[in-house]
Amino acid sequence: MRYLRALAFVPALGIAAPLVAQDPAPPVPAGYHYGKWLAAAFAVGFTTLAVRSHNAADRAYNGLLAYCRAGSCAVGPDGHYVDPDAEARYQDVTRGDRDARALFVGAQASLASAVVLFVLEVHRTSREPPNIPYHGLTVTPHLGGVDVGWRLAIP
């Protein structure tokens, strides 16, 4: 008789609906999945270009210093170099620094967007059920030890 009850229970296992925690996670939008890698690649690319631009500006500045040490680099009343060659070298330095700054800002923005997309994807693919605290367990310390009890509220 026990075996018949068990056999009658087996088909019911296949019919039972899965629990919420067993449901597959919703699919991650392709923008999250591929966008995070694209943003990370942009961050690496912008950083590489910014470093190259910064190094070129440093070389141009060292060239300007060498040029000024070899000759006269007087500055006019308007703040520009009197010698047009020295002024052109200085403009190369400022252009390289400005380009490097813009590229570094772009790299930081790309990195921030990659982090946001990583977090969104992890949040979206979480398969854990929400935390629902249950306050039915009671723990009461007293002089002789601890009482542990179970409280069940019946409406």
For the chain, 155 residues long, give each residue's pLDDT as a single digit of tens: 555 454 454 455 555 555 555 556 566 677 778 899 999 999 999 999 999 999 999 999 999 999 999 887 889 999 899 999 999 999 999 999 999 999 999 999 999 999 999 888 877 766 666 666 666 777 788 888 888 877 666 65
Its pTM stands at: 0.62
The identity of residue 136, as a single letter, is: G
Measured in degrees and rounded to the nearest 5, phi and psi for residue 153 equal -90, 120
Task: Give me the pLDDT at residue 2, please.
Answer: 54
Q: In the 8-state DSSP scheme, what is residue 151?
A: -
- Compute the distance between CA of residue 82 and CA of residue 76 in angstroms, rounded to an integer: 6
- Compute the distance between CA of residue 95 and CA of residue 149 in angstroms, rounded to an integer: 74
- Compute the distance between CA of residue 19 and CA of residue 107 in angstroms, rounded to an integer: 44
Pairing, β 137-142 against β 145-150: antiparallel
Q: Where are the domains of the chain?
A: 26-131
- Nearby residues of 106 by Cβ (< 8 Å), 6 or more positions away: 42, 46, 50
- Nearby residues of 50 by Cβ (< 8 Å), 6 or more positions away: 99, 100, 101, 103, 104, 106, 107
Extract the tokens encoding 61.
Answer: 């500045």
